[in-house]
A and B are shown apart, each in its own frame.
Chain A
Amino acid sequence: MISIQDVSKWYGEFQVLRDCTTRVDKGEVVVVCGPSGSGKSTLIKCVNGLEPFQKGEIRIENVSVGDRRTNLPRLRARVGMVFQHFELFPHLTVMQNLTIAQRRVLKRNVRGATDKGLALLEAVGLKAHAQKYPAQLSGGQQQRVAIARALAMDPIAMLFDEPTSALDPEMIKEVLDVMVRLAQDGMTMMVVTHEMGFARRVAHRVIFMDQGRIVEDRPKDDFFKDPGTERAQQFLSKILAH
């Protein structure tokens, strides 16, 4: 579904990504972890072309992301993304947040878009908040709306960049629950997170990044049994200690 082949990226002189290679198959959940600044966000933003990269190739269902001829908006419409800071549109109601891209990008009619929006709000337990503005919701509620907004596009895969790290502890669970359900429903997911409980429950593979490199990439059980490199062991023991 998603294949990442020898991807390197530079910010000027500084190399953020070094020959990253991995893949996410259909229905697979891959968790990406690693210390701050290791390039996790950059890698995941390369996947849907939000960040350009200079070397290597990324393909989503055989469409090359880096190819100039690729219609990036069309590609992105099929890949959902959830951000650390939610990024709901503050000038629109919750319902409008869910329908704007359905209408403007997928050209669905009002009725269809609204029905879809309501069904998804119901699924994340926020149907009663459809007419509110994002600022009237808690962080956890906003992030659930953001997930629903991405799902409204009927994506073939979902990308998450630290979806719970801006949330208060008591709100993390409500967001993870939604994500776990999504994973169990067979959604293809690439998730940057330090929530190892989530990784244990639903991940198929865990990727560990350090200094722009994919250092570990192994099945979940192997990773937790033996994280491999010393760097990964240290990292794991540090975040599990919390």
Chain B
Amino acid sequence: MPALDWSSIPGALPFLWNGMLVTLSITGVAILVGIVLGTLIATARLSANPIPSSLAALYVNGFRSIPLVMVLLWFYLLVPQLIQALFKNPAADIRLVSAFVAFSLFEASYYAEIIRAGIQSVSRGQVSAGLALGMSRAQTMRLIVLPQAFRRMLPLLLTQAIILFQDTSLVYVIGLSEFFGVAYRTGDRDGTIVELLLFAGAVYFVLCFAASSLVRVLQRKIAL
């Protein structure tokens, strides 16, 4: 095995950085939209009314039964037409937008289940206390239940975000240049693929390890 040649890495850093920005933006958008949408789905799922609750269950079970890569490809084939129909603006980066949409909707199904468990972990007495003070059901949910649920769920939500961060590398299937894809292609071009993949792996490891440590700290804090 020839000695490793790290010399091409400094030159690749600007490209890798751009790739990392794509990775982080997909992760960020999917976390935000996923949590907001996931909260709505979770409350629908817990509703006493069978219509929203079964629709929510269908959503969650549907997305959880399909591989992420497939969701990604479907949306890549679907969203561009949608955007063009809506905005008539072919200049928008179709691939990035479809990645945002696919990851957000997919993550929402996972977040919904985490959030549902979080909501259920708040005792019924807390709901009674909110209602007894004259709050509406929606106010009780928003002001009393959700803040407590999110505090308890924080470690799980963050763990899911770490998984999501790693999963974004799948966007190579729609030709998007995120961190992993950039590393791969740069390495391929310069004949230093082993070095670049090792480097990329190290970056993933450091970031995810740091985030997991944060999860552990949070868990300990919440347990107190």
Q: Which A residues have a C-beta under 8 Å from some C-beta of B?
A: 45, 48, 50, 73-81, 83, 85, 87-91, 100-101, 104-106, 149-150, 153
Contacts and interface: CB of A to CB of B under 8 A. Distances in A.
A50 B127 CA distance: 10
Interface string B131-145: 111111001000110
Contacts of B133: 76-77, 100-101, 105, 149-150, 153
Contacts of A153: 133-134
A17 B125 CA distance: 21
Contacts of A88: 129
A74 B131 CA distance: 10
Contacts of B129: 81, 83, 87-89
B128 interface: yes
Interface residues of B, number: 17
Given A87-B126, A101-B135, 11 more contacts: A50-B132, A74-B134, A76-B132, A79-B132, A85-B125, A90-B148, A91-B147, A104-B135, A105-B133, A149-B133, A153-B133
B125 A104 contact: no
A63 to B, nearest CB: 13
Contacts of B136: 73
Contacts of A104: 135, 139, 143
A73 B140 CA distance: 11
A50 B134 contact: no
Contacts of A100: 133, 143
A81 B143 contact: no
Contacts, number: 59
B134 A73 contact: yes
A69 to B, nearest CB: 16
B88 to A, nearest CB: 44
B151 A87 contact: no
Given A83-B125, A85-B125, A89-B144, A73 B132 contact: no
A45 B124 CA distance: 13
Interface of B: 125-126, 128-136, 139, 143-144, 147-148, 151
Nearest to A149: B133
Contacts of B144: 89
B148 A50 contact: no
6 contacts: A48-B132, A50-B132, A76-B132, A78-B134, A88-B129, A153-B134
Nearest to A135: B224
Contacts of B148: 89-91
- Most A-side CB within 10 Å, residue of B131, B133, B139: B133
Contact of A87 (B125, B134, B147): B125
Nearest to A105: B134
A120 to B, nearest CB: 14
A78 B133 CA distance: 8
A176 B220 CA distance: 37
A87 B128 contact: yes
Contacts of B143: 100, 104
Nearest first, the 10 A-B pairs at minimum CB distance are A77-B134, A87-B129, A101-B133, A81-B132, A105-B134, A87-B125, A76-B134, A91-B147, A73-B134, A73-B136
Nearest to A89: B144
B128 A73 contact: no
A151 to B, nearest CB: 11
A152 to B, nearest CB: 9
B147 A50 contact: no
Contacts of A83: 125, 128-129
B139 to A, nearest CB: 6
A192 to B, nearest CB: 14
A76 B125 contact: no
